[in-house]
Structure 1
């Protein structure tokens, strides 16, 4: 830990962010961080609830003079997306996140930082730990598995809350108040496979697509960044037009809600075609450099001849069906909002291709702020599954967060920001999924808002958060809590 980090963690927010960065908290592995939050509350004699989904709810009474203000529900999630560069030695199940400070930005070391949504947890802990701050009664809820399924929020029992004001701290741009978000669902196509013996006079090769920028499939889908799985589909389709081959194994992406940066496929090709591979790969690299010269200038296709690792490969029908699934599964922006200029209305991201004992799975994250359009894309993916004789099912279906025309909390946060900075904040809807939709469906009486500091490249190893923005957003947040007694 260098001096600049030591100086940084003197502030309560960065102190607690540093503390939770020591604790493994990948989605589905939150018990340790959940227990930490319970222990934090218990040591301070605060009311705490830990439910079966490991969500943690911590309650703190109102400051003197704020007893008449409705309770405030403050929400974030404890899990993080665990991505690292391929050559990086880091075990997210046990290793601490290693920080680096570069001027005003805080990074991890070749991994995701976890500022999404560790900063929200740090804000909550700093707020709970400081009895000098003025605020209404607080109901802090930190959920689990937001990054994969929103399971935690879906399982939260609404009877735990009395609050009428809901503040989500999972936004990523200072000075922007979010007031609506998309709903989503994960669609899974699983293709059963048939295998055959490796043919004679064959060569095993591995094709790898890498060097893509990636990003959050809700926040970055409109940027036209390359999807490694879709590029792999085109590559395999093109190769199928010039030589026969079969697929031995295939993989791409790690999370359905992250645009995949890498994909790989091991193929068995006729030995006579090996000498043509360099020109085939060179042509593809030229094509990709041209297509992605602005969004993903570093994209490349690599080809390596392998030892004869595999003794069997997928048969011709299975290989054709894999190519069909990759080529036809919809991906990217599906529709734009007609009411809000520049807002993606519907999208889908083919985020993961993975092999297990059940076959080859193609996992897509489908989003829309219009329920019927979400259903339309689901139907399209289901038709692809039917075409390829794949099994189809849905996971983690969560609702959209509709815009509320009359909102006191929106007015309060707008006025507070304007008073602090002499300019009004932006009021926006986003295409990413927020847990606000789940909570406003469970608690239809609440008035909700979402805010947060400026972050960049979340869900990638280049994730970084602005230090100054984290601190100024903290000051804005506690000032808004202080001001609430003038609005209610």
Structure 2
């Protein structure tokens, strides 16, 4: 057990420490899911996995609470696998290495997985507790939330009995969420044509690193730079001037994370190598001037490269560079109804190159289906102009706020009783699974809350220690305050 297991509240941190020790990136949750199933079985709890792989655990009401409405505590099992370039870590094999950094817990060179491991640990700690008052209780742990919400999509009616769902996937203590954005994945595919280079070229790699990255929903309005867009900007401005011949581009790793790094392998005429280095150095200084207040560690470099493949034809190269440079990115529109909340956004999250294909992966988020459709139409038009193919997949609905939510009022009043103030009632510009749960369980009353987590989906991810204690305190008080069945 690591040092974090001694933090308070100890039951929560001990479970989180164990979660960190078992690899569980998206698509690779089975080892952790099996541990949870085995643990619940040993505890004498009713546990099962549904056809898609979600884990559902049931615990009877404590004495005197049998007449309360049933509650579902919900978290997702998987975590976002992001690491720094110089960190040697295999998320499918290696444990996360958490450590205490002042008032926070963070990880050594990787994402921490507090999103949503801290919520999952809290759910398990409630199940393990013998001194918490609660009505009929269920815990739903879904799979693959970060990479497609497969578990939420696959959840069927009839598996859950509760009337209330408490989602633990929020990331700011003192805020309660009662709505979220929907989204859709977008792939723009280019068929590559290549040709042999003539004499007089040398290979170079343009490298952009050191950006903060972050969550493409909750961080999209913060002014953080997108490495893919920065690379496209440079190439659009200088590829023709320098006679560059593009070999490949790669940038970002997840469509729901703002890309921190991007790379372009290219061939440059020998006589232009010094000019390329000078222009890229000038571009770095320009970005530091433009973005330095937000991006404090921007690092650009030109590296030597052995040319081992043919270059893209000029036509394909020009269309790709133009598309990356012209692709919308960031906040598209702020909400008119909810002050300070992003309504619609787009993240150009990943660029990959295979021998014959280059793919741009984007994630559109919107509180409004019409806003999502508008951005889809923009990308469709851009793809038409570029001569590429665009496909949309994995669309998930938003979670429409219900101002009459009973459980929202219970949480608000309970929070006020504890702390003497009313929590902020929010709608989040990120995809929570609650919108999907409304399909099989349309009458379920839902809210989302959690401890303070900064920089999720990036290696800078950290969770505030004190707010974990507040979150635990709120969870205990909420379960005690659940209304009586009608």
TM-score category by the smaller chain?
over 0.9
What's the offset of the Cα at 1:398? 0.6
Instruction: Give the 3-state SS of the residue equivalent to 2:482 in structure 1.
Output: helix
Post-superposition Cα deviations, 1:275-319, rounded to whole Å, max 9, x if no partner, equal 21232122211211121021113223211222x332312111221
What's the offset of the Cα at 1:446? 1.0
Structure-to-structure mapping, 1:79-94, within 5 angstroms: 79-94=78-93
Give the corresponding residue for 1:256. 255
- Which of 413, 416, 420 does residue 414 from structure 2 map onto? 416
- CA–CA distance in 2 between the matches of 1:341 and 1:153? 29
What's the offset of the Cα at 1:330? 1.2
| Alignment pair present for 1:450 and 2:448 | yes
| Alignment pair present for 1:50 and 2:46 | no
| Alignment pair present for 1:301 and 2:300 | yes
CA-based RMSD of the aligned residues comes to 1.5
Post-superposition Cα deviations, 1:393-437, rounded to whole Å, max 9, x if no partner, equal 222211000010211101110111111111111111111111111
- CA–CA distance in 1 between the matches of 2:307 and 2:130? 63
Give the corresponding residue for 2:104. 105
TM-score, normalization: structure 1?
0.97
- Which of 465, 481, 484 does residue 483 from structure 1 map onto? 481
Residues 408, 71 of structure 1: alpha-carbon distance in 2 compared, 3 angstrom cutoff: same
Give the corresponding residue for 1:208. 207
Give the corresponding residue for 1:273. 272
- CA–CA distance in 2 between the matches of 1:275 and 1:222? 37
| Alignment pair present for 1:149 and 2:148 | yes
Q: Which runs of 5+ in 1 are unaligned?
A: none
Give the corresponding residue for 1:379. 377
Mean CA deviation greater in 350-359 or 318-327: 350-359
- Which of 316, 319, 326 does residue 317 from structure 2 map onto? 319
Give the corresponding residue for 1:350. 348
What's the offset of the Cα at 1:262? 0.5
- CA–CA distance in 2 between the matches of 1:254 and 1:211? 15
What's the offset of the Cα at 1:69? 1.6
Aligned residues: 486
Give the corresponding residue for 2:428. 430
- CA–CA distance in 1 between the matches of 2:339 and 2:365? 18
Post-superposition Cα deviations, 1:30-87, rounded to whole Å, max 9, x if no partner, equal 1111111211221122222212322111111112222222211111100001111100
Contact kept, 8 Å, 2:179 with 2:400, in 1: the verdict is yes
Mean CA deviation greater in 4-13 or 408-417: 4-13
Contact kept, 8 Å, 1:182 with 1:368, in 2: the verdict is yes
Structure-to-structure mapping, 1:178-217, within 5 angstroms: 178-217=177-216
What's the offset of the Cα at 1:358? 5.4
What's the offset of the Cα at 1:6? 4.9
| Alignment pair present for 1:21 and 2:17 | no
What's the offset of the Cα at 1:258? 0.5
Runs of 4+ aligned structure 1 residues displaced above 3 Å come to: 485-488
- CA–CA distance in 2 between the matches of 1:414 and 1:328? 44
Contact kept, 8 Å, 2:71 with 2:138, in 1: the verdict is yes
